[in-house]
Amino acid sequence: MDELTDADRTAYAAVDDALRTYPLQAAPPGLFLSVLRRLPRRQPAPRFRPAWLDYAISLFAASMASLAGLIWLTTPLPPDWPVRLQFQFLVFWQHLRFILLY
C-alpha cells in the first residue's frame, strides 16, 4: 500500500478541518417528500405456496422413514448385531480417515 506524503497529509487535514467546522445548512422543505416519492414502493412479500415437488419429497421421506421403522420392528435381528454394527462403523471410519488424510 502506498504511504502518504506530508503534502497529502496536510491536504487531508485541511479538508477534514473544513468539513468539521463548516456550518450546517437546513435542508430544503420539500426534500424529504421528493426523495420518498422517488423511492420504489415496497411490494408485499409473495405468499408461500408449496409446489408439487415439495409434496412429493415430503411424501417420499415420510414413506422411507415409515418403511425403516416397520422393518426395524418386524425383522428379527441376530444376537450379534451390535458387534457387527460397531465393526462396520470402524471400517467406515478407517476409510474416511484414509480419504481425508491422503
- The upper half-sphere exposure of residue 83, i.e. CA atoms within 13 Å in the direction of its Cβ, equals 3
State pLDDT tens for residues 36-49.
Answer: 999 888 888 889 89
Distance CA 40, CA 27 (A): 22
| Cell triple for 47 | 405468499
Please list, in sequence order, all residues whose beta carbon lies within 8 angstroms of the beta carbon of residue 84, skipping any fewer than 6 positions away: 78
State pLDDT tens for residues 48-75.
Answer: 899 999 999 999 999 999 999 999 899 8
For the chain, how many residues are written? Answer: 102
